[in-house]
Amino acid sequence: MSIFAKIALPFLLVSSVTACPYFSWIGDGYCDTDCNNAKYQYDGGDCCEDTCVDGIDYDCGFNGFDCKKDSTNQYLLQKDYTNFSVNLFCDKEAQAGYTVGYSYSLSKFVCKAEKSRKYRKDDSLPQECQQKFSDSELPSYKRSECGKSRTKDRDCYDRGHIIARSHVSQTSESLKEADYVTNVFPQSSDFNQDGGGWFETDQIIDCHRENPEVKRVDIFGGLLYNDESNDFFIDSYGIPTPDLYYRVVVKYFEDDSTPDVIAWLMKNQLDQDSKQKLNQRYNEENDEQGGYLIKVQTLRTVLEKKYNQIQDSNEVKILKRKLMNDLFSSYLPSDGSFTEKAFDRNDSWAFLDEKQCNKLNSNRPKCSEVERDEF
C-alpha cells in the first residue's frame, strides 16, 4: 500500500474513524492514531520509539511517535557478561525474572569446562530480574514425581545451561558467569543430556567452530514460555518453565565467502527422537509432526505468531517481539545474504562427520589442564 493510500483510505471509509481500520497496520512501523490503544496492542508498538520495529513499507518515526503504554512493573533488561549477553524479563511485583534472549560469538575452542553445581544469583542484578530462592546456591529442579531413569521420565528437569560452559571457557570469570542463574533454567533431562536436542546442538556448534575454514561463529536465540500446564516452578523459583528454545548459528568464513546459517526451534520436553529431529525440517502446518531444523524466515514468522499467543500483557508481548526482531537484525549478516546449507540438505551435521566430531569433542583438554593467562 502506498503512503497516500494509507493516509487517505480511512477518510474514504468513514469521516471519523473510531477503530483500527486494518489489522495489517498494526506493527508495520507507522504510528496510526486509530490503532494506538490497548485493544490493538498500541498499534503493535509502532507509536513508542523503544518498542517500534521498522516495517516493510515504513521506518519507525515516519509519522512521529505518540507513546502510550499500560502501566506495568515489568520490563526487559540486557546484561552483558564477559563473553555473552542475556536479555532478562524482570517483574517488580513478583520479585522474580527469567531469561528470554541471549547472544554470543565464538572463535576456536579453548578448553572443556568441568561440570559445576555452584549455581548462584548475580549480585549485580536486582532480585526482580532473576530466580528467587533462599539458599546460597540454586537448588535442584528435581520433582517428587521424577523417577530414577531421568532421561526417560517427562517429570524430570535438570539445571540446564542456556549457553554451554565450554562455549565461554576463555577465562575463569566467564565460567563463573555461565553458572549464574540468569543462564541456568529448567530443561527436560532428556532434552539437556547426551542424545537430547539441546545437548547435540552444543556439539554441532563446537565442531563447526573448529572447522579450519570457519573464522567466527555467532549464536543468538531465545526462550518462549507459552504453556502454563508445566509451570512447576512458579511457587518455588518464581519462574515459568521454558517451553520452546530457538537457536540460530551464523558461520563466517576465513575467505569472506557468503556466511552460512543454521536455525532450530526445539521443544523442552521428553522426546526420545529429539536428536533425529535435528535432521528433520520443521512442519509449519503441524509442529507436532515436524522436526527442529527451520529456515530463518520461517522461524521469524513462527515466533511472531507465538509471541502474540502467549499469556502476557499487550506491552510485554510487544517488548518480547521487539527483542526477538532486534536479535535477528543485529546478528544475521547485515546485507541479508547467507546460505542455509543444513536446511537444504535436511541435515544439521551437513559437511561434518558426526562420529569424528563426537570423538573430537570428547578428547578436548579440560580447563584445569590448560595454562591460560586469564586464570
Could you give the angle at the alpha carbon of 156 between the alpha carbons of 241 and 278, nearest 5°? Answer: 75
CATH 3.30.720.120 fits domain 74-369: no
Q: Which of 12-21, 55-64, 234-243, 306-315 has maximum average pLDDT? A: 234-243
C-alpha cell at 105: 560469538
If we measure between CA atoms, which residue out of 281, 283, 289 comes closest to residue 262? Answer: 281
Rounded Cα distance between 185 and 160, Å, is 5
Summarize pLDDT for 268-290 with one digit per residue, the tens. Answer: 999 988 889 999 999 988 878 88
Rounded Cα distance between 26 and 308, Å, is 12
Could you tell me which residue, 314 or 117, shows the higher pLDDT?
314
In sequence order, the 6+-apart residues with CB closer than 8 A to the CB of 72 are 313, 315, 316
35 contacts 43 by C-beta, under 8 angstroms: yes
Question: What does the pLDDT average to over 97-103?
Answer: 97
Confidence class for position 208, pLDDT limits 50, 70, 90 = confident
Tell me, what DSSP letter sits at residue 366?
A: B
Question: What does the pLDDT average to over 241-264?
Answer: 97
> Where in the chain do CATH 3.40.570.10 domains reside?
74-369
CA 236 to chain centre: 24
Could you give the angle at the alpha carbon of 229 between the alpha carbons of 225 and 231, nearest 5°? Answer: 60
Rounded Cα distance between 159 and 175, Å, is 16
Rounded Cα distance between 274 and 198, Å, is 9
Summarize pLDDT for 159-194 with one digit per residue, the tens. Answer: 999 999 989 888 889 899 999 999 999 999 999 999
Average pLDDT taken over every residue of the chain: 87
Q: Is the pLDDT of residue 75 over 60?
A: yes
Tell me, what DSSP letter sits at residue 6?
A: H
Q: From the CB of residue 12, how many other CB atoms can be counted at a distance below 10 Å?
A: 9
The helix (H) or strand (E) run that includes residue 31 is none
Question: What does the pLDDT average to over 233-252?
Answer: 96
If we measure between CA atoms, which residue out of 35, 40, 42 comes closest to residue 69? Answer: 42
Question: What does the pLDDT average to over 240-256?
Answer: 96
Summarize pLDDT for 12-29 with one digit per residue, the tens. Answer: 333 333 578 887 898 899
Amino acid at 235: D
